[in-house]
Amino acid sequence: MRTRAAVLTDFDSPFLVGPIDLAEPGPGQLVVRMTAAPFCSTDWMGWRAMRRKVPPVVLGHTAVGVVEHLGEGVTGLAPGDRVVVAGTPQCGECFYCGIGRPDQCSVLMDQGDPVVAALPDGREVRAAGRVGAYAERMLVQRIQVHRLPEGLSDETACLLGCGVSTALGAVFRIAEVQPGQSVAVVGLGHLGLWAVQGARLAGAGLVIGIDGHPGRRELARALGASDTVDSARHDPVASVQALTEGRGADVVIEAAGPALATRQAVLMARRAGTVVLAGVAHSATEVELPQLQLTVHGKRILGCQNGQIRPDVDMPRWIGMLGSGELDASPFITRRYALGEIDTVARRSMALDDITGVLTA
């Protein structure tokens, strides 16, 4: 099946935008025509060889689109259905799905990026995150596809499988933020800003947004942050302690990525507090932490692959919150781009010019 895609053939180089030959859908697979896909830090890091991707590869780990073709055994969907394709599948059969942790589903974590197409010269093309969103058509599995209701725009819905699910999962499912708690959010990109909204909706008494970018701090205040800290001018650990009577925050959500941000997130949590680590700077990054913080101080330090969500339960919840207006997506979509403008959106994302750029086919 001939279609068009933006293929990463060499790291840190322009994408090859042109034809690919997509494989026909096999059992449990379907073809979805992409209508909207967000570009975020995960994608430009993949572009810069920071995510262990193997070119040629189509980046993009979530998208919204329309079902076109169904493989054998696919049920519950029909051609013409509008769907969100999420980067975290839920096979329901592996060890991790069996213990209620589909965020670690073996289909994603153990099988890697599948070969889904070929370039005209015969080179195999992989799909990043088992999605490969930056293409006119995607070959994906039924276990990562969710039907969308009417009334939610494609551009808004495409944010579900990335910042929305990760940030809200961090707040509600991992940290289990309680009314009145203090929450510090380190890093105010699209992930951190969604976490600010989530903390506000959870009833946090104090929501502290931390970032060196003045525009991001201003947006965080508009989205519900009660306080912000300029991490370029002030020590964020000392600032959070000053705002919490010297204790530190009840919950810290790290959404920046650098090793320093991870260290600061752990240090700014109070004793017996909770730290959720969502940012990753590089697949090879290592973090050095004071041992006392990990033992005597009794802090809970938890990872956050896609918010540890259960897609079958949580995805309908987030869809409902976006549809009802509880979650405001309007500040997140900075610009819209055609597929052929992917080099521009990659550079703008890396330069922090966009909160989220949305690509359309």
Q: Encode pLDDT of 191-210 as tens digits.
A: 999 999 999 999 999 999 99
Count the Cβ atoms, other than its own, within 10 Å of residue 11: 12
For residues 68 and 210, state if they share a domain: no
Domain co-membership, 175 together with 89: no
Assigned domain for 326 exists: no
Q: Residue 313's CB: how many other CB atoms inside 10 A? A: 12
* Residue 9 and residue 141 in one domain: yes
What's the Cα-to-Cα distance from 303 to each of 33, 115, 159, 166, 292, rounded to whole Å?
Answer: 33, 28, 21, 11, 19
Q: How confident is the model at residue 178 (pLDDT cuts 50, 70, 90)?
A: very high
Is residue 322 in a domain?
no
Same domain, 351 and 283: no
- Which among 181, 149, 182 has a CA at the least distance from the CA of 318? 149
Decide if pLDDT at 345 tops 80. yes
What CATH number does the domain containing 194 carry? 3.40.50.720
**Residue 196 sits in the same domain as residue 142:** no
Assess whether 243 and 97 both reside in one domain: no
* Residues 116 and 190 occupy one common structural domain: no
The total number of structural domains in the chain stands at: 2
The chain-wide mean pLDDT, for the chain, equals 93
Read off the pLDDT band of 352 (50, 70, 90): confident
Residues 77, 147 within the same domain? yes
Domain extent at residue 233: 163-305
**Same-domain status, 104 and 54:** yes
Report yes or no on 318 lying in a domain. no
DSSP state of 114: P
Q: Looking at the predicted structure, is the pLDDT value of residue 148 above 80?
A: yes
311 domain residue, yes or no: no
Exposed e or buried b per residue across 171-198, where buried means at least 16 C-beta atoms within 10 angstroms of its C-beta: bbbbbebeeebbbbbbbbbbbbbbbbbb
- 108 within a domain of the structure (yes/no): yes
320 is a domain residue? no
The answer on pLDDT for 25 being more than 90 is: yes
pLDDT tens, residue by residue, 289-322: 999 888 999 999 999 988 998 988 998 999 999 9
pLDDT of residue 87: 84
3-state secondary structure of 41: helix
Q: Does residue 327 belong to any structural domain of this protein?
A: no
- Cβ atoms of 357 and 345 within 8 Å: the answer is yes
pTM of the entire predicted model:
0.93
Q: Are residues 153 and 221 in the same domain?
A: no
155 in the same domain as 189: no
* pLDDT tens per residue across span 63-112: 999 999 999 999 999 999 999 999 889 999 999 999 999 999 999 999 98
Q: Are residues 56 and 184 in the same domain?
A: no
For residue 121, what pLDDT band results from cuts at 50, 70 and 90?
A: very high
Cα 202 to Cα 321: distance, rounded to the nearest angstrom: 13
Q: What is the pLDDT of residue 101?
A: 94
CA distance 74 to 272: 46
3-state secondary structure of 304: coil
81-85, 159-163, 211-215: least confidently modelled range: 159-163
